[in-house]
């Protein structure tokens, strides 16, 4: 009787230790996974992101998600279509935002390589698109495909049933971009935010 009791206690202790080891591995994996995600979703240029998020009354994580998706936080990035900087503004978008902000001739398209100027312009454009379209996903599609294109999409009942949301994005590239923005935004909230806006 004593031997079986000792064996049962030994088995129980062994199971407890095995469970503790498994829990430690799982916790260690989750910590490592979180650290990898933080490395790929950093909060770089936070002084500018937070400054312009506050100035324009927008969610800072939307700006981070756009920078992550657009340039991977490379201030010198240039796309194959000529978009520049962290938030990848095209020259016509730069000109439009420059006009709206009332900036003088001392600000040029070359300034899109300056992180603060690029974030200021990109955040302004994102905020405008969110206000204009009333839907973050639609605004993201417009940031990628242009206001004119997306304005036509929301008029088409096969693409937008309510004139606001895009039920079916007709461009694979735009659909992929919107999905990437959404995934990046979800990651930023998961990693850094205590509550979702």
Domain of residue 14, residue span? 1-40
The answer on 123 and 31 residing in a single domain is: no
Three-state DSSP string of 136-189: HHHHHHHHHHCHHHHHHHHHCCCCCCCCCCCCCCCCHHHHHHHHHHHHHHHHHH
Phi and psi of 119, rounded to 5°?
-65, -40
The answer on 13 and 108 residing in a single domain is: no
Is residue 69 a part of any domain in this protein? yes
Q: Note the pTM of the prediction, 2 decimals.
A: 0.82
Structural domain count of the chain? 2
The answer on 107 and 22 residing in a single domain is: no
Quick one: which of 115, 143, 132 has its CA closest to 49?
115
pLDDT per 10-residue tile (average), the chain, 197 residues: 63 60 52 73 97 97 98 97 97 97 96 98 98 97 97 97 96 98 96 76
Is residue 197 a part of any domain in this protein? no
The answer on 54 and 136 residing in a single domain is: yes
Instruction: State the pLDDT at residue 41.
Output: 94
Place of tokens 């920078």: 67
Instruction: State the pLDDT at residue 193.
Output: 81
Is residue 33 a part of any domain in this protein? yes
Place of tokens 């003088």: 104
CA 17 to CA 10: how far, in whole Å? 10
């Amino acid at each position: 009787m004593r031997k079986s009791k000792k064996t049962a206690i030994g088995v129980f202790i062994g199971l407890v230790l095995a469970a503790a080891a498994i829990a430690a591995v799982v916790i260690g994996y989750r910590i490592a996974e979180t650290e990898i995600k933080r490395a790929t979703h950093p909060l770089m240029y936070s002084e500018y992101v937070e400054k312009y998020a506050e100035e324009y009354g927008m969610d800072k994580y939307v700006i981070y998600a756009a920078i992550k998706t657009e340039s991977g936080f490379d201030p010198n990035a240039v796309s194959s279509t000529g978009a520049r900087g962290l938030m990848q503004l095209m020259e016509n978008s730069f000109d439009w935002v420059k006009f709206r902000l009332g900036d003088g001739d001392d600000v040029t398209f070359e300034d899109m390589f300056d992180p603060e100027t690029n974030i200021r312009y990109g955040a302004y454009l994102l905020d405008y698109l969110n206000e204009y379209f009333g839907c973050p996903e639609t605004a993201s599609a417009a940031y990628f495909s242009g206001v004119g294109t997306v304005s036509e999409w929301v008029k088409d009942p096969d693409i937008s049933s309510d004139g606001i949301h895009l039920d079916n994005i007709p461009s694979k590239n735009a659909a992929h971009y919107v999905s990437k923005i959404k995934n990046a935004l979800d990651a930023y909230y998961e990693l850094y935010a205590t509550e979702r806006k």
